[in-house]
Amino acid sequence: MEPLHTLEIDGSAPLSPDTVKAVTTLCESTEDRAGRGLVVVHVGGAPAEDAPDGRDVTLVTKWERALRRLERLPAPTVAVARGACGGTALDAFLTADLRVVTPDTRLLVERGATATWPGLAAYRLVQLAGVARARKAVLFGRPIEAAEALAFGIADEIADDPATALADAAELTAGLVGQEVAIRRQLLFDAATTGFEDALGAHLAACDRALRQGAAKEAAAS
């Protein structure tokens, strides 16, 4: 199964409207072809501490909305990180369903002269790893090495050969329908913050949808 689309994000480059547009274009193309397939995002690079920053809150808002859209795509997503991975690269990496790192990967929360960057990468790190494991990275910019990322649940696999990992991801997701994956993903997200009674309705609705689809397939085959 070939990926629907492949995107590369260089975290050493400052956030720009072009970066937002690249992610938005990927999302639009994928949503237009909702169904089967993988979206693959290759990330790497991290901003220097003394790099000039042309961001403003409007641009950051657009970026975070684009990332949320990427995180909710009607298709399975896999991110592959190489080497230093910070800034926009880390942001995109953390949105993926499956996250692969090479042995030399170091995840870096962006750090300025006075503190780390308070973007939603911090939120996603805590959601994945927990407060205790993410504390030093979020507060002080301490690098998360590949082995730690795997142990903390931030990465799903360390791969010397990312191509093999991508082939495995394609096999794992083969036959899955993107919109159905998106529904299961949302149920997964909600499970951490939703009580049983509130979750029950959403899960029953998803079960009813699956049963109806199964019945429709049986009727079409008969």
Per-residue pLDDT tens over the stretch 21-58: 999 999 999 988 866 779 999 999 999 876 667 789 99
Count the neighbouring beta carbons within 10 Å of the beta carbon of residue 135.
Answer: 14
Domain range annotation of the chain: 3-173, 178-221
* CATH architecture of the domain with residue range 3-173: Alpha-Beta Complex (3.90)
Write the secondary structure of 180-197 as one string of H (helix), E (strand) and C (coil): HHHHHHHHHHHHCCCCHH
Query: What is the per-residue pLDDT for 134?
Result: 98
Residues in a beta bridge with 116: 111
Could you tell me what percent of the chain has a pLDDT over 90? 79
Structure tokens at 40: 């693959």
> What is the per-residue pLDDT across 103-119, written as a single tens digit (0 to 9) for each?
999 999 999 888 999 99
Could you tell me what percent of the chain has a pLDDT over 70? 96
Supply the pTM of this predicted model.
Answer: 0.92
Query: What is the per-residue pLDDT for 37?
Result: 78
> What is the per-residue pLDDT across 164-192, written as a single tens digit (0 to 9) for each?
999 999 999 988 888 999 999 999 999 98
Rounded to an integer, what distance in angstroms lies between the CA atom of residue 99 and that of residue 153? Answer: 9
Structure tokens at 90: 């880390």
Q: Which residue has the tokens 């693959």?
A: 40
Measured CA distances, 37 to 3, 71, 178, 179 (Å): 5, 15, 7, 11
